[in-house]
Structure 1
Amino acid sequence: MNQLSRPKISHHKPNWFVPLICLLAGGVLIGVSTNLAKYAGELNLAPLAFLFWSITGAAIILFIIALVRDELPPLNKRSFEYYLVAALVSVAGSNLIFFSAVPQVGAGFVALIIALPPLLTYLGAIVLRIERFNALRAVGVVAALLGVGVLAARKFSTPDASVFWILLALCGPVLLAIGNLYRTLRWPNNASPSSLAPGMLIAAAILLGMVSMLPSFSIAVPLTESKSLWLIAIQALIFAGQFLLLFLLQKTGGPVLLSLLGAIGAIVGVPVAIFLQGEAPPEGLLLGASLIGIGVALVTWGGVKIAKVSIEEI
């Protein structure tokens, strides 16, 4: 999620219907995607294989859309660098961690920590001096991190806790935050968001394909398992919609609304994991989720105030 990109400011009254629909639909897709990863594990579909073919399918879908719109991905040295690095941290690396961790720590836990990247992105932006310090947003970051700390501590205390998988799952939001900062600093000149999305997914598919060449990794899917094939097709459509909506939201709603995608995904993903997947609620869910929610709200509110001040100055 690119929290820090700065779309052109319009002085006309904004139309919030389109960005609101993008926000809600994109968040729902993120929450559903997390739970599909758990279902894939129940079908004995390897996380790498599930992710590779889903990303490949999504890349094909978005490439066709870009072709129809005559917005093909730019092909130059700068864009190739962008595709490779953004794909590694924003798509391939982070999603492989999430998909692999879901069977080990639960879809509910993963859905909750997906709300963290915008907060970590803001923290990184302060360190890199991309954005000025704001007390309200800083309090929000601290609250959200405390919420994750509560969830992680309760997760560690369970009898069957896997320290490795819990720590690995917590690395996913960090990678996404790094991707947000990278895409802000290295965005190719004159490139539209919709033209960059398929290029990034194609690069992610290539990276995942390279991982499959390592020992003990495979992207093979039994062709006789119709449920697995249908699940991959559904996930490919979800990924295509998720990334397309993400870029549309960035263009129409700006970074404040974009920062709420993970929170909406958590709101959808956790109940689905509990009521449809039969998961036990994560320990410390009420306190942890409340702190994360407060954190997201404060960071968003602070962003709104900053945006208003910027418009008034203009």
Structure 2
Amino acid sequence: MVMSITLSLHKGKIIYLYVKINGEPMSRILKAMIVTPMLLLICSSFTFASKIMIAKAALSAGLLPFQLGLSGNFGAAILLFLLVRIHSEKIPTTRRHLALYTSLALISFAAPTVLSYAVVDRVGPAYTSTVYSLSPILTMSFAAGLGVERMFVRRAIGILIGFVGMIALVQQQLTLIDTEQTLWILLGLLIPAFAALGNIVRTRFWPEGTSAQAFACATLLASCLIILVMAPMFEDVTQWRLTSYSDWGWTIGMIAILALLYVLNFQLQKIAGPVIFSQIGYWGTGFGVVLSALLFGDLLSGLALLGLCMIICGGLIARKPASQ
């Protein structure tokens, strides 16, 4: 290990101290020690659950889903673009990178959204929300099959424990599923498959030298274009409005939470890989259940609390081995 220290003195007092270890600034090393994948997973999941709470309140106030999605994503993209410029970073815009951003918008947003609308209409919302719990299992399988990440027994056990915990958490919703719609139940399995595929694509084709906020900004802008195309198919866009303080307040809140969420998500994926990242589906649902109980008075059953404990245990077990 090689340590270098640079001092600046003025009248015998240290006014500047710069420390490097093996050529790396000490501040960057400390940041890497503090910002761990587990901490990022918790923060990302809590932010994800908070986004759901804000969306629920905004929709109840009269905003439409695609209107909220477009304004939130575009506003968050603007905030991240300013952050990218402040840090003198660049967003790659070659033909290959533009294709990547568009593909991610289609895989991670367009396809799951269209399927969700169709499946909710025919099978019910309970199945649509529950099926997302398959995303970590599918991500782990895809990652191992495509050689993106190795399969570890400990990680597989952790993911399965989290899955069981997720089922326990939403067990009351499972009774509301219309099991006669076999075809749409099978098609609904494509929703977590697309989510898992998006996780793999982001990791496998991450633009070299691109920061999390730059990649997130580009993906958000691409998703805005997809929303613009899709919105007239599902909503009456002439009913979009921002006419009250409430409308503006919820929209600004969604912009802020989305900007934070995307930075956390992409940073988590960058340092932890697709399998750990995919557990946001478990942890986010857990935080969502707790926040719903605190904010909206929803009841927490003993089985739901057991499910929360299993999700936490599964996440701890599934952490990437220290050797990596």
Change (3 A) 1:52 1:265: same
State the match for 1:137 in structure 2.
Answer: 155
Q: Say if 2:223 is the partner of 1:204.
A: yes
CA–CA distance in 2 between the matches of 1:141 and 1:169? 21
Is the counterpart of residue 178 in structure 1 residue 192 in structure 2? Answer: no
- Percent of aligned pairs sharing the same letter: 26
- Counterpart position of 2:33: 16
Please state whether the residue corresponding to 2:318 is helix, strand or coil: helix
In the comparison of the two structures, how many residue pairs are matched? 287
Match of 1:229 in 2: 248
CA distance in 1, matches of 2:187, 2:207: 31
Shift of 1:272: 1.0
Relative distance call for 1:230 and 1:246 in structure 2 (3 A) is: same
One-letter amino acid of the structure 2 residue matched with residue 17 of structure 1: I
- The answer to whether structure 1 residue 297 and structure 2 residue 319 are counterparts is no
Q: How does 1:1-314 map to 2 (within 5 A)?
A: 15-19=32-36, 22-91=40-109, 94=112, 105=125, 110=129, 117-150=135-168, 154-158=172-176, 172-214=191-233, 216-218=235-237, 220-250=239-269, 253-255=271-273, 258=277, 261-281=280-300, 284-300=303-319, 303-304=320-321, 307-308=322-323, 310=324
Match of 2:14 in 1: none
Per-residue Cα deviation, 1:240-272 (whole angstroms, up to 9, x for no partner): 011112333455x53487566555534432211
Q: Is the 8 A contact 1:115 1:292 kept in 2?
A: no
Note the C-alpha offset of 1:59. 0.8
> What's the TM-score, normalizing by structure 2?
0.72
After superposition, give the CA deviation of every residue in 1:90-114 in whole Å (9 maximum; x if it has no partner): 355557888997xx758xx95x876
* Secondary structure in 2 matching 1:224: coil
How far did 1:67 drift?
2.0
What whole-Å deviation, never above 9, does each CA across 1:1-42 have from its counterpart, x for those lacking one?
xxxxxxxxx9x9764323476554433211100111221231
Higher strand share: 2
CA distance in 1, matches of 2:55, 2:300: 18
Aligned with 1:205: secondary structure? helix
> 2:68 and 2:192 mapped to 1: Cα distance?
20
The two structures have a TM-score, normalised by structure 1, of 0.74
Contact 2:293 2:299 (C-alpha < 8 Å) held by counterparts: yes
Q: Please list the CA deviations of residues 25-84 of structure 1 after superposition, one character each: whole Å capped at 9, or x if unmatched.
A: 433211100111221231132211111111111011111111222223111111111111
User: Per-residue displacement from partner, 1:104-144 (whole Å, max 9, x unpaired)?
Assistant: 758xx95x876764443112212323333322222233333
- Give how far 1:220 is off: 4.5
Larger mean CA deviation between 260-269 and 128-137 belongs to: 260-269
8 A contact 1:58–1:236 mirrored in 2: yes
Higher relative contact order (CA 8 A, sep 6+): 1
Three-state SS of the structure 1 residue aligned to 2:151 is coil
| Preserved CA contact (<8 Å) 1:120 1:141 | no
Return closer, same or farther for 1:91/1:241 CA change in 2, 3 Å cut-off. Answer: farther
Contact 2:165–2:309 (8 Å) recurs in 1: yes
| Separation of aligned partners in 1, 2:316 and 2:102 | 32
RMSD: 3.7
